Amino acid sequence: MMPKKHSFPVGTFILSILVVVGLAVVIYRYIYGLGAISNLSDGRAWGLWISFDLYCGVALAAGGFTLAGAVYIFNLKKYRSVVRPAILTAFLGYTLVILALLVDLGHPWYIWHIIINWNVHSPLFEVGMCVMFYTAVLALEFSPAVFEGLSKSNLPVVRHINWHFPWRVIRAIQIPLVIAGVVLSTLHQSSLGSMLLMMPETLHELWYTPILPILFLISAVAVGPAMVIFESTLSTRVFGHKLDIDVLSGLARVIPYILGLYLLLKVIELTAVGELGLIFTAYPQNLLWWGEIIIGVIVPIILFSMSDVRQNRSAVFWTSVLIIIGLVINRFNVSMLALGMRPGYFYFPHWMEFAVSVGLVADALLVIWLAHRFLPIAHQEQIVEAEI
């Protein structure tokens, strides 16, 4: 019988090409400057990278702190199997945010100055510090999977290192790490909304509100379980990791309550300030508002309220996709589409801006693929005390 040949997966090859193209564009940017690869200007300082990589990236990584809090603080052991994939995705999401900012900033080599030059009155300072610390917390939270993988490695140099000690240290401080992660994530998820409060005459009335930080936090909490469902379903299809439908159904069951609170606050706020009529008259911005509300809030609330939908894997997956799309539309609305621009300026992303973002996403997908191949991601293992 002929030995089975191991070929390089086509999807992995395509992702590698996208990473190489994105890396080439980044190198070109550092040689010739930001203007050489983007259409950003004084009239549009925020572009694709801020809307997609920062505002969407941070929110879509919310599954890390929501699932970790549910399992380790509220002791919901039922969802333990999806904690590591959620933390891995969150860690990669925040890493990509940092890498995107290094491309977006005019002088990226000054990014470390936030550590020594504190502006405690700036929401951006809070965002920067929280992202920095939360990324470190996520790395520590995910490190047990790395230690477990290394402890089972066949490489002689790696195999003879005692990986049990650092694993035990992380396990000992796991609860404080999770609490720190929840606190830090709560702070900067809301602070991204606080940044927009400094632009009362720039952001459209349909989105500008003093409770914008609260809305940002609630929407991030809602999209957290949706992202976990999305990731877990794709993992099942790609890697064959079968996840119990009760886990997916349990995650889906809580989402309508969170989305319902989000919708209620938005309607109450618009009514209180006398701007509810804008959802019908403020064309074309009202179409953007209805798009994010119908796709990402109303339809998912209806679907996830049905037990038949929650017990159907495909239905749960595609309803979660609607929530993710709705959040992406919302973040693009508040950071680009509904944000005013100086007269005489026009902005549409340069193809190289797309190349950087696509390359970063492809890079994350490759890391996820490698992690699922070489680390205990889908099924959390324990290093037995006898081995220690």
DSSP3 helix / strand / coil % (the chain, rounded to 5)? 75, 0, 25
Q: Note the pLDDT of residue 186.
A: 86
In the structure encoding, which two tokens stand for residue 289, read together? 């508002």
> Which tokens hold the place of 381?
């293992």
The answer to whether the peptide bond before residue 376 is cis (omega within 30 degrees of 0) is no
Give the tens place of pLDDT for each residue, 123-171: 888 888 888 999 999 999 898 888 887 777 666 666 667 777 788 888 8
pTM over 0.85: yes
Residue type, 57: G
CA distance 112 to 91: 19
Q: Residues 362, 99: contact at Cβ < 8 Å?
A: no
pLDDT tens digits, one per residue of 58-107: 998 888 888 888 888 888 888 888 888 889 989 998 999 999 999 998 88
Q: 83-104 and 123-151 are packed helices; what angle lies between their axes, rounded to 10 degrees?
A: 130
Residue 255 has phi, psi (to 5 degrees) of: -60, -45
Give the bridge partners for 339, in sequence order. 203
pLDDT at res. 234:
86
Phi, psi angles (nearest 5°) of residue 160: -90, 0
Cβ 22 vs Cβ 360: under 8 Å: yes
Cα 178 to Cα 70: distance, rounded to the nearest angstrom: 10
Q: Which residues contact 77 (CB under 8 A, 6 or more apart)?
A: 71
Asked if residue 387 lies in contact with residue 244, where contact means CB atoms within 8 angstroms, the answer is no
Query: Are 102 and 132 spatial neighbours (Cβ–Cβ below 8 Å)?
Result: no
Q: In degrees rounded to 5, what are phi and psi of residue 23? A: -65, -40
Instruction: Specify the pLDDT at position 1.
Output: 42
Q: What does each C-alpha distance from 57 to 4, 39, 66, 227, 327 come to in angstroms?
A: 39, 21, 15, 12, 11
Give the pLDDT of residue 8. Answer: 56
Predicted local distance difference test score (pLDDT) of residue 144? 87
The parts of the chain modelled with pLDDT lower than 50 are: 1-7, 381-388
